[in-house]
Amino acid sequence: MSFFSFGQSAEIDVVLTDAETRKKAEHKTEDGKKDKYFLFYDGETVAGKVNVTLKNPGKRLEHQGIKIEFVGQIELYYDRGNHHEFVSLVKDLARPGELTQSQTFDFEFTHVEKPYESYTGQNVKLRYFLRATVSRRLNDISKEMDIVVHTLSTYPELNSSIKMEVGIEDCLHIEFEYNKSKYHLKDVIVGKIYFLLVRIKIKHMEIDIIKRETTGTGPSVYHENDTIAKYEIMDGAPVRGESIPIRLFLAGYEMTPTMRDINKKFSVRYYLNLVLIDEEERRYFKQQEITLWRKGDVVRKSMSSQATIGAQRFEGSVSLESALEKAAREDSA
C-alpha cells in the first residue's frame, strides 16, 4: 500500500474492497506510457475504504467535512480548462468537525453506470476516478485514484460481408471482399482480392488499419488519423484472373471498440484502407469503415463455432472460376 503526502497535516489513501482479487488492465497514459489499473464494467459496484492518517497523531485536524466522489469525465486537450463530467456521484463520509486520530471510512457506490469505455487519444481523454477529499478552510487534502472501464458487446446479429470494387476505366478493375463488417478486438479479418483487369503495372499492394479520432463540433472539429497496422498483400505485378487471400489477425494491435459520438464530444472509428502503388509511384486508395467491439472473456461455444463456420463458408463462397468468367465477359464487351 502506498501513501502520498498532501500537505503537513494528514495523508489520504483509497483502497478498494476487492483490491486483491479484482483484475487489472493496461491503459495508455497521456505521455504514451502504459500503467495497470483496476478494471470495471458497466453496472458494477465500486466499494472500498478511505484511510485518513494524521501525520502528527497528538494534533487535532479541523475539517469542513470528508467526502468521496466517483467521477466520469471527458477532457479535450485543446480546452483543458473545462472538464465535461457525465457521471458524478458523491458520498459524505463525515460531517464538519475534527479528527483527533487516524480514521477509516467505508464507502460504496452501488451498481454504478459507466456508459463509455476509458480512452486516451491524441486530442481527448475519457477517464473514471475516485476522489477522496478532506475539506479545509485554506487548502483541501485530496487523493485521486483512476480506474479503467471496458464496455462489452454481444455477437452482432447482422454482420454482412463487405464487397467493393476499385476501378480505373480500361486500366484496372479489382474486386475485394471481407467476410464481415463487424469484428471483435481479437478477431481475424478474412478476405480475398480478385484482379479482373490489370493494364497498369502495380508493384505493391497493402491493407492498412486506420484509426480516426474526431473531436469537437462545428468549426472546431479536429481529425487525427493513425495507421494502426500495415499488411502487405503483394510485392510484384499481378496478372488478370489472379486471386489473393487475406488473413489479418487483430489481436496483436492496440485498438479500442468503435466509439461513436461519445457524449457529443468525440468519436473513434476504424477503417480498412486498400493501397495500390504502381511503378510510377502513383497511389490508389479504397477505404471502408469497419466496426470493432469488445467481447467478454467467456464466450458461448456455439457463438465461436458459428463464427468459424461462417469464415469457412466465406472462404469457399467465391471461386476463382467465376472471377475469370467475369473478366472474360468484360474483355469481350
Model pLDDT for residues 73-102, shown as the tens digit of each residue: 999 988 877 889 999 999 999 999 999 899
> Is residue 99 one of the residues assigned to a domain?
yes
Q: What is the mean pLDDT of the chain?
A: 83
- Output the CA–CA distances (angstroms, integers) from residue 186 to 183, 263, 294, in the order listed: 8, 26, 8
The pLDDT score that the predictor gives to residue 216 is 83
> Is residue 216 one of the residues assigned to a domain?
yes
Residues in contact with 225: Cβ distance below 8 Å, sequence separation at least 6, in sequence order: 210, 211, 212
**Residue 199 pLDDT level (bands cut at 50, 70, 90):** confident
**Residue 176 pLDDT level (bands cut at 50, 70, 90):** confident
Amino acid symbol at 306: Q
The pLDDT score that the predictor gives to residue 266 is 95
pLDDT at 324 over 50: no
Domain hosting 100: range is 10-149
Q: Of the residues 88, 118, 149, which one is the last residue of a structural domain?
A: 149
The pLDDT score that the predictor gives to residue 196 is 82
Q: What is the number of domains present in the chain?
A: 2
CATH of the domain at 185: 2.60.40.640
**Residue 8 pLDDT level (bands cut at 50, 70, 90):** low
pLDDT at 1 over 60: no
The pLDDT score that the predictor gives to residue 78 is 82
The percentage of residues in the chain with a pLDDT greater than 90, rounded to a whole number, is: 50
pLDDT at 166 over 60: yes
Whether 125 and 167 share a structural domain: no
What's the CA dihedral at 248, 253, 254, 260 to 10 degrees? -10
The pLDDT score that the predictor gives to residue 281 is 83
- Output 271 or 279, whichever has higher pLDDT: 271
- Report yes or no: 62 and 98 within 8 Å, Cβ to Cβ: yes
State pTM to two decimals. 0.80
Mean pLDDT of 295-320: 44
The pLDDT score that the predictor gives to residue 16 is 97
Q: Are strands 162-168 and 188-198 parallel, antiparallel or unpaired?
A: unpaired
Whether 44 and 140 share a structural domain: yes
User: Each residue of 23-45: pLDDT tens digit?
Assistant: 999 998 888 788 999 999 999 99
Where b means 16+ CB within 10 Å and e means fewer, 3-32 reads eeebeebbbbbbebeeeeeeeeeebeeeee
pLDDT at 170 over 80: no
Quote the CA–CA distance of 194 and 333 in Å, as a whole number: 19
| Cα 249–Cα 255–Cα 259 angle in degrees, nearest 5 | 125
pLDDT at 325 over 50: no
Whether 26 and 79 share a structural domain: yes
> Is residue 4 one of the residues assigned to a domain?
no
Whether 55 and 132 share a structural domain: yes
The pLDDT score that the predictor gives to residue 304 is 39
- Report yes or no: 99 and 56 within 8 Å, Cβ to Cβ: no
Q: Of the residues 88, 119, 149, which one is the last residue of a structural domain?
A: 149
pLDDT at 3 over 70: no
Whether 22 and 122 share a structural domain: yes
User: Each residue of 107-126: pLDDT tens digit?
Assistant: 999 999 999 999 999 999 99
Whether 125 and 242 share a structural domain: no
Q: Of the residues 98, 127, 149, which one is the last residue of a structural domain?
A: 149
Whether 284 and 205 share a structural domain: yes
The pLDDT score that the predictor gives to residue 156 is 73
> Is residue 324 one of the residues assigned to a domain?
no
Whether 136 and 180 share a structural domain: no
Whether 138 and 245 share a structural domain: no
